[in-house]
Each structure stands twice: as structure tokens, then as C-alpha cells.
Amino acid sequence: MTKAIAGAAKTLLVPTDHTLVMVDHQSQMAFATRSIDAALLRSNAALVARSARVFNVATVVTTVAEKTFSGPVFSEIRAALPEHKLIDRTTMNFWEDTNVVDALNAFDKQKIVMCGLWTSVCIAGPALSALEQGFEVYILADACGDVSDEAHDRSMDRMVQAGARPMTSLQYLLELQRDWARASTYDAVTGIAKDLGGAYGLGLIYAKTMFGGEGG
């Protein structure tokens, strides 16, 4: 008989085992996004960026044609990660850009977590490229978007079929925390959840206000 052993699956993320790549969360790219509401997309991107800051995750923020076409990265990302130098590209697939690849190699992580615009192009391309080279790839689906539901959904299907692991933004935050006894990040994590965690955040605010509640 198999016996349970206390411990986490190796596929669960921890702050030190992956590189987060935030891709093309820019004005022009968001204008044509229809698979997710723009305000929710910005909120989810902010949640991811703030999570990365709290847990000191190795992070790359990349843009495409920032000065000539796509415009500035979301202000929420810049506010959360002000010290990060943006890597601007001409390639739609960031895995074909040597500056981005050099940054990834400098972090030397086997797991890559991605989110950005658009799912079918600037996420699917590098995800498939990374998987082919033997990396483990995670996609934060609700911090991605595309020109239609169909474009987003079929691209997620394609990446999952190739071996990528889909996640959500809030799931990412809570997976990094994973234990409410980790006091050093407790206040920051619940603070992010209260600000950006939707109904879950409202629940935390209610519990704290009405009952002095703590925990997840």
C-alpha cells in the first residue's frame, strides 16, 4: 500500500526555482485584446508583478517596439518593479531575442513562468520554443489576453498539449506563499490579495474588519 508522505509536489513553484517573464503588457497590445477585460488584465498583471517583488523572484520584463508602436508598459508593473530595465525587442517570439535569452541564462532556472500579450503570438511562440529545449513552462492564463476568446483558448490548448502548465495569477501568489506560518511574507501577501484578489480579497477584508480574522 502506498503511504502518504508530508511534502510538496516538485511541480509546485517556489520563489527560487523559476524565472518570471512578463511580456508586452503595453497600451497598443491591450487596445485590441478582447478575451479579457482591460481593467481585469491590468489588475492581474499588477498582482503578478507585486508577487514577484514580495518573493524576490528572478524576473524579466520585456516589450516589443516600445518607442515606435506598442507604447509604455502598464504603470502597475513599473510601480511594482521600478528597478527592472525593460528589454525591448523586434521579435514577436522573445525566445529568438538574444538579449532576453541572455537574461534568462543569467538566472539559470529550469522553470519559466510566462504571461503577456498576445497569447497566440508572444506567449505561444516562446512557450513552445522553451518546451522544445527542455524547460518546464507555466502560463499565467489570466494575465494573458488575445484578440478573441478563440485565439486565447486555442493557444492555451496548444501550449498545454505541448506540455505547458496553466495557472492563474492568484494561484501564483498563493503557491509562492503556500504556508500561512511563513510570517515574513504574510502581511505582504494578504495585502496584495486584499488589493487585487477579487472576491477572495474582499473576504479577507471582511474577516479582518468584522472579526479580526487572520489566515487564508
Taking only the tens place, the pLDDT of each residue in 25-51 is 999 999 999 999 999 999 999 999 999
Does the domain made of 18-175 have the CATH classification 3.40.50.850? yes
Return d(Cα 190, Cα 177) in angstroms, integer. 10
Tens of pLDDT along 189-208? 999 999 999 888 888 888 87
Residue 1 DSSP label:
-
Return d(Cα 107, Cα 104) in angstroms, integer. 5
Return d(Cα 74, Cα 62) in angstroms, integer. 12
- 58 contacts 112 by C-beta, under 8 angstroms: no
Distance of CA 62 to the CA centre of its chain: 13
Return the pLDDT at 212.
Answer: 73
pLDDT confidence band for 68 (50 / 70 / 90): confident
Tens of pLDDT along 105-134? 999 999 999 999 999 999 999 999 999 999
Concerning whether 115 is annotated as a catalytic residue, the answer is no
pLDDT confidence band for 215 (50 / 70 / 90): low
* Full-model pTM: 0.94
CA distances (Å), origin 193, targets 53, 104, 177, 190, 215: 14, 28, 12, 5, 12
Tens of pLDDT along 149-190? 999 999 999 999 999 999 999 999 999 999 999 999 999 999
> What is the mean pLDDT of the segment spanning 90-115?
98
- 28 contacts 70 by C-beta, under 8 angstroms: yes
Catalytic residue among 22, 61, 104, 122: 122
Q: Which amino acid is at 185?
A: T
Asked if residue 211 has pLDDT above 90, the reply is: no
Residues forming CATH 3.40.50.850 domain(s) in the chain: 18-175
